[in-house]
Copies of this chain bind each other. A is one copy, B any other.
Amino acid sequence: MSEPNQSETPTSDPGASFTRTRLFVEDDLASGVGFTLGPDQSHYLQKVMRRGVGDRVVLFNGRDGEFWAQLTDMRRGAVSLSLGEKIRAQSPEPDLWLVFAPIRSAAVEFMTAKATELGVSRIVPVMTARTNAEQVNTRRLRANAIEAAELSERLTVPEIDVPVQFTALLERWPTKRRLLVCDETGTGRPVADVAGELAENPRPIAVMTGPEGGFAPDELDQLRDLPFVMPVGLGPRVLRADTAALAALAVVQAAAGDWRSGRGVNQD
Alpha-carbon separation in the docked complex, A182 to B185 (Å): 32
- Select from chain B the residue with minimum beta-carbon distance to A94: B235
Measured between beta carbons, the chain B residues less than 8 angstroms from A183 are: 1
Q: Which among A26-34, A36-44, A55-63, A255-263 touches the partner chain?
A: A255-263
Q: Please pick, from B5, B103, B254, the residue contacting A192 in the complex, using a CB distance under 8 A.
A: B254
Instruction: Contact check, A240 vs B184: say whether CB atoms are below 8 A apart.
Output: no
Measured between beta carbons, the chain B residues less than 8 angstroms from A235 are: 118-119, 253-254, 257-259, 261, 263
- Select from chain B the residue with minimum beta-carbon distance to A250: B247
Alpha-carbon separation in the docked complex, A195 to B3 (Å): 23
Alpha-carbon separation in the docked complex, A5 to B107 (Å): 11
- Select from chain B the residue with minimum beta-carbon distance to A8: B104
Is residue A154 within 8 Å, beta carbon to beta carbon, of the partner chain? yes
The minimal Cβ–Cβ distance linking A3 to chain B, given in whole angstroms, is: 3
Nearest 3 A/B pairs, CB to CB: A186-B263, A3-B212, A235-B259
